[in-house]
Structure 1
Amino acid sequence: METLFPPFDPDEDGARRPRLRQVRQIPIRVILPNLITLLGLCAGLTAIRMSIEARYGEAIGMIVAAAVLDAIDGRVARLLRSTSRFGAELDSLADFVNFGVAPAMMLYVWVLDGARSLGWISALVFAICAALRLARFNVSIDAPGKPDWHANFFTGIPAPAGALVVLLPVYLDNLDVPVGILTLPIVLVYTIAVGLLMVSRLPTWSGKKFGSRIPREAVLPLFVLVVVIAALLVSYPWHVLAAGAIVYLVALPFGWRQWRRYAALDRVAEARES
């Protein structure tokens, strides 16, 4: 009677040895987007360390770097035709750390710890809202029957934008904007408000299709614009980040109004067809 687990004798005839599986080589284009995602995750984890060490400028720089890498990895994957379910899941986990945990930890270490439990609850609410926002986004990707114009909008503030917007009080503090004793209560309420905006049903511009096709005559001006923005960000980081966060918040009603216009046109088209 044969045993369930026969012994393996390395001195036996080679014909009875288990055959090694051939290792399939993986093209570099398949793993490149995942490497970019992991670099972004390293930036987010480093931001947490910098926050604990009260190096807030460097921590924010790491979050900005993570946001840039997050914008790149998906486009690189689509360009190289190397999108995968693994990459999508890895990207979501990295986004939760980079844009949920890291900003919440920074705000708590910076000022929210002064409110003790309330400050921690505020940071928790923001981080949890980021997780829920990412989970909802993953589920909605496969939702069928959406009009094409829905691709121009997100539902709620996306996690990278939420992370950069929620840090607006830190930008203003480094610009010496006078707030005084109101800093703690304002930041506490503001953090929760931005978290709720991430899980809200508010339509926001996605920018997914921006830059997919660029007119030939606009290529050189685009290069100049990118260089100017990068130079301004390096030279005047707090001014650029504060202005960007404020402009984004001001633009939210306009995105909602544009979404309503598209929806109204859809309703008119459906009424004509019926």
Structure 2
Amino acid sequence: MIRRDPGSGRMPLLQLLPNVVTILGLSAGLTSIRFAFDDNLAFAAGLLIFAALIDLLDGLLARRLDAASPMGAELDSLSDFVCFGVAPALLIYRFGLSELYGLGWLAALFLAICCCLRLARFNVMSKDPEIDVKGHFVGVPAPAGAMLALMPAFLLLSGIWDTRDLPMLVAAWAVFVGVLMIARFRTISLKTMRIDRDNAVYVLLGAGVVVGLMLTRLWLFCVLSGVIYLSLLAWGVLQHRRQRKEG
């Protein structure tokens, strides 16, 4: 819970920092929608990447500052729905699905609703003491789902492929990502993976390459990250099933 100054009854300003950061991420998501409808795909997508990074930061700050609160949890969930449900759906519709009219809008709606259902299920599971969520997660988390949903935009921005040429494929991809978010498959969390000391040097070199790509070829980095994430996701599902059989 958030601690208050016992002498004044006021809340320390530092304890409000995680909520301020969450609101910053929410502002980025809302602004992304504005730039999407101004036909500025690069800035709109960049703001959603920024919102995803902010989502990692606010939770870390809440734990470090011992500033977790019910209000902060609800605010974070509402912000996640806007940033990783509504904004990506509208962005993809604007740049890849608008030519399909009603069908494209249904695909965008499906993506946003699946994100909402994923967040609602996570909130219920995290509050149920009988459900063990450590070491694995059910379905794809909302921020990761949003980044996967933006793959058509990343492919376009990186110059690899103009995905607007095949809007039906973009619609199918949006539906596929939505299914990944609400599906009840279990996969081990990347947080539980351990790195051997013998491989630490290679991991550091890989991290250097990743940072270099992110700074110089951001959109290519996003495409490669999506491909790697899907590969790790499939591997994690297989590992979780193997662990259950052995256990």
Establish whether TM, by shorter chain, passes 0.5: yes
Change (3 A) 1:178 1:43: closer
Instruction: Point out the more displaced range, 221-230 or 246-255.
Output: 221-230
The answer to whether the 8 Å contact 1:157/1:202 transfers is: no
Q: Any stretches of 5+ residues in structure 1 without a counterpart?
A: 1-21, 267-274
User: Does residue 253 of structure 1 match 2:238?
Assistant: no
Residue 261 (structure 1) shift = 2.4
CA 1:78–1:178: 2 relative to 1, 3 Å: closer
Structure 1 counterpart of 2:128, one-letter code: A
1:154 corresponds to: 137
**Pick aligned residue for 2:112 from 127, 146, 160:** 127
Q: 1:114 to 1:229 in 2, by over 3 A?
A: same
* 2:84 maps to 1:90: no
Q: Indicate the SS of the match to 1:29.
A: helix
Identify unmatched segments of 5+ residues in structure 2: 1-6
Residue equivalent to 2:26: 41
Cα deviations by residue, 1:135-163 (Å, 9 ceiling, x for unpaired): 0000001223445xx41211001000000
Q: 1:36 and 1:44 mapped to 2: Cα distance?
A: 13
Deviation of 1:29 after TM superposition, in Å, equals 3.1
Task: Give, in whole Å, the separation in 2 of the partners of 1:226 and 1:40.
Answer: 25
Letter of the structure 2 residue corresponding to residue 195 of structure 1: G
What's the CA shift for 1:227? 6.5
* 1:175–1:57 CA distance, 2 compared to 1 (3 A): same
Q: Does 1:264 align with 2:223?
A: no
SS, match of residue 166 in structure 2: helix
What amino acid maps onto 2:241 in structure 1?
R
1:76-109 superposed Cα distances (whole Å, 9 cap, x missing partner): 1111111111111000000000000010010111
Distance 1:258 1:173 in 2: 33
Shift, 1:183, TM fit: 1.7
1:38 shift after superposition: 0.6
Q: One-letter code of the match for 1:260? A: R
| Equivalent position to 1:164, from 147, 155, 180 | 147
**Matched residue of 1:82: which SS?**
coil
Partners of 2:153 and 2:163 within 8 A in 1: no
TM-score, normalised with respect to structure 2: 0.87
1:53 aligned partner? 38
Q: What amino acid is aligned across from residue 60 of structure 1 in structure 2? A: A
Larger Rg: 1
Task: Quickly say closer, same or farther: Cα 1:188–1:102, change in 2 above 3 A.
Answer: same
Post-superposition offset of 1:243: 0.2
| 1:183 alignment partner, one of 157, 166, 185 | 166
**Is contact 2:32–2:45 with CA below 8 Å preserved after alignment?**
yes
| TM-score normalised by L of structure 1 | 0.79
What amino acid is aligned across from residue 189 of structure 1 in structure 2?
A
Instruction: Specify the code of the residue in structure 2 equivalent to 1:87.
Output: G
Q: Alpha carbons of 1:181 and 1:209: their partners in 2 closer, same or farther (altered >3 Å)? A: closer
Instruction: Report the secondary structure of 1:151's partner residue.
Output: coil
**Offset at 1:177?**
3.1
Task: Map 1:8-27 onto structure 2 (within 5 A).
Answer: 24-27=9-12
* Counterpart residue number, 1:62: 47
Question: Partner of 1:111: helix, strand, or coil?
Answer: helix
CA RMSD of aligned residues (A): 2.8
Within 5 Å, which residues of 2 pair with 1:191-202?
191-202=174-185
Deviation at 1:125, TM superposition (A): 0.3
> For 1:238, which of 216, 219, 240 is the aligned residue?
219
Counting aligned pairs with the same residue, the percent is: 38
Structure 1 distance, partners of 2:135, 2:62, is: 20
